[in-house]
Structure 1
Amino acid sequence: MDDMITVKNLTKRYGDYVAVDDVSFTCRPGQVTGFLGPNGAGKSTTMRIIAGLTPPTSGVAQLYGVDYRTIPNPATQVGILLDASAQHAGRTGAEVLRLSAMTMGIGRDRVDEMLELVSLTPEEAGRRVRNYSLGMRQRLGIAAALLGDPKILILDEPANGLDPAGIHWMRTLLRGYADRGGTVLLSSHLLHEIEIVADDIVVIGNGRIVAQGTKDELLAGAGTRVRSLDDAALGEALVAAGITVQRNTSGGLDVDADPVDVGRAAAAVGVVLTELRPADGAQLEAMFLQLTAETQREHTTLEGVAR
């Protein structure tokens, strides 16, 4: 099967509130799919539906072409981390993994292997989870998700609580897992986290998909950055050539066109370019902020009311 995760026309309503609104996307093997959006955009609800924890109002979410709840011994097929703080606080880290391994019919050697993989020392593994930092809980949660050697990983905000070294470790781990043929769905409200590791990106705001595609497609869609010795004359030449131009706050112009077309327009009017390059993460960030601005404003208002 080409797509390991298939979400089609997924909707979830709570009374009059629509948490997820006609969401569709797929996740492919060998790829990290970044599920990006501000807090409250519908990421966690969508992931809970995929994991069989929340029933959808309508639409389908399938893994391997079937409903999660119909998969036999599902933890050996799908590794899930939705809430690192939900682990049993009274058990040690090692006990949490051993109980999971027993349920799956997996030997204890795999538990030790996973503890080593996520860099939890024997001393830390022997501590009760209530005494874990959030970062340690995330590592334990990732170990639990990988325990059954699944082909699909679904992780909701797994970098929360990790320090910079921990975030780098997690990215390296997920990249290696996908490169070996695994399928990863990774959510975050932080664009930079997603941008570095993801192959495909799905952006959600107000419960609806607002952009999706490969990272390269989304970056290409953000246009070109150009600076010159005479930006005013260059801007006029570009507009005359039918190219959309925006002045960038840090100087230069953001142009909705291929760099070659920009160079030709500049040459035609004799303007010397000092910078010409495809859009980078700064443009993707601008797109993300623009796409989710409405969601951000609504939640700011709601938070104000709640107080």
Structure 2
Amino acid sequence: MITVSGLSKTYGAFTAVDHVDFTCRPGRVTGFLGPNGAGKTTTMRVMVGLTPATSGSVTIGGHRFADLPNPGRLVGVLLDASAQHAGRTGREVLAISAATMGLPSSRVDEMLEVVGLNATEAKRRVRNYSLGMRQRLGIANALLGDPSVLILDEPANGLDPAGIRWMRDLLSSYAARGGTVLLSSHLLHEVEQVADDMLLIDQGRIVAGGDKATLLASTHTGALVTSTDNAALAAALAEAGLAVAPSGTGLSVDAEPLQVGTVAARHQIVLSDLRPDGGGLESLFMSLTSEGQRDVLQGDPVLAGASPEGAHR
């Protein structure tokens, strides 16, 4: 379990993380979302001791990361896939990590197979890896110690569609075995598919959090429906007291999809499409982070001359 309590991080007058509180539970994937500069990476860096907190605390399994005697055996971390020794081979990178954690060399082969790096690729220098291959190697490193917690910042960056699906299946199976996953990503559709819980952060503050179903249910505004006879369906819906309007090739209805489907079934009208109107993670994200959508703002620590560390938030 990850517990974040009253966490803040400031760079001079700039507040990158502002009194953040949340918990990531075992057996669940928590999606950590927000626009560029919202505070995601800074929060994750504080979690694993790379950035000191200004105030507040983070515990993993009840302990501070710095107090863990062999942290790689409890926490698997991937914050920057490019931050791997470019002159070493993929196998060497994992072998050094395995030796550091006191793991047998056989674990290296196991992880290379898990992440889909073959024998030829394992012998190549990391400088010759594509971004997707570096991501796979970084994930192998994070999983090497068989940790109970994973902290991953943009792990799908650079992966092709097959790789993204592989990542989704990997994280789902990991959580199903009781693991705790904190996943930061800009790929909202992928997070929506894999996450059990979600946290939205904007300008250093958590603006929404909770289980996915509850959060997304609050964004639905009606239903979109298309049938083999839209005119008959519109009449039936209006007769049932539901507001109906044309929308593209179908109808927009001010009602839950279940209500629309029930009316259609009663009148024996065949539906070719029925789904919530609006809603979804993208709608929630945009509605809660609209003021924070930017790549760089005046007052950003990079522009203000603060530590470059502030650029990786």
Separation of aligned partners in 1, 2:134 and 2:18: 31
- In the other structure, the counterpart of 1:126 is 123
Matches within 5 A, 1:108-119: 108-119=105-116
Change (3 A) 1:251 1:79: same
Structure 1, unpaired ranges of 5+: 240-244
User: Relative to 1, partners in 2 of residues 1:131 and 1:263: Cα closer, same or farther, differing over 3 Å?
Assistant: closer
Structure 1 vs Structure 2 CA RMSD: 3.2
The answer on 1:143 being equivalent to 2:179 is no
**Other structure's SS at 1:85 match:** coil
- Determine helix, strand or coil for the equivalent of 2:293: helix
> Under a length normalisation based on structure 2, what TM-score does the superposition of the two structures give?
0.81
Post-superposition offset of 1:251: 7.0
Q: Deviations over 1:178-231 (max 9, x none)?
A: 111111100012211211111001111111111111111112111232558669
Match of 1:225 among 223, 226, 242: 223
Determine the C-alpha separation between the residues in 2 that align with 1:131 and 1:258. Answer: 52
Structure 1: 4+ residue segments shifted above 6 A: 245-251, 260-264, 300-303
Shift of 1:283: 3.1
Paired with 1:254 and 1:109, the residues of 2 have a C-alpha distance of 59
Cα deviation, 1:107-139, whole Å, max 9, x if unaligned, reads 011000000111111111111111111111100
CA contact (8 A) 2:197 2:210 kept: yes
Shift of 1:299: 3.6
Query: Given the two structures, how large is their TM-score scaled by the length of structure 1?
Result: 0.83
- Find the partner of 1:293 among 290, 294, 303: 290
Distance 1:294 1:214 in 2: 24
Residue ranges of structure 2 left out of the alignment (5+ in a row): 304-313
| Distance in 1, Cα, partners of 2:162 & 2:113 | 16
Q: What is the CA distance between 1:277 and its match in structure 2?
A: 4.6
**1:248 and 1:191, CA in 2 relative to 1: closer, same or farther beyond 3 A?**
farther
* Counterpart-to-counterpart distance in 2, 1:22 and 1:86: 29
- Aligned mates of 2:245, 2:148 — CA distance in 1: 44
User: Percent of aligned positions with the same letter in both sequences?
Assistant: 61
Q: Is the 8 A contact 1:88 1:129 kept in 2?
A: yes
Contact kept? 1:81, 1:156, Cα under 8 Å: yes
Structure 1 residues 294 and 149: CA distance shift in structure 2, 3 A: same
* Deviation (angstroms), 1:151: 0.3
Matching of residues 1-307 of structure 1 within 5 Å: 4-223=1-220, 224-226=222-224, 252-253=251-252, 277-278=275-276, 283-297=280-294, 299=296
| Count of equivalent residues | 288
How far apart are 1:301 and its partner, in Å? Answer: 7.7
Answer yes or no: is the 8 Å Cα contact 2:87–2:126 preserved in 1: yes
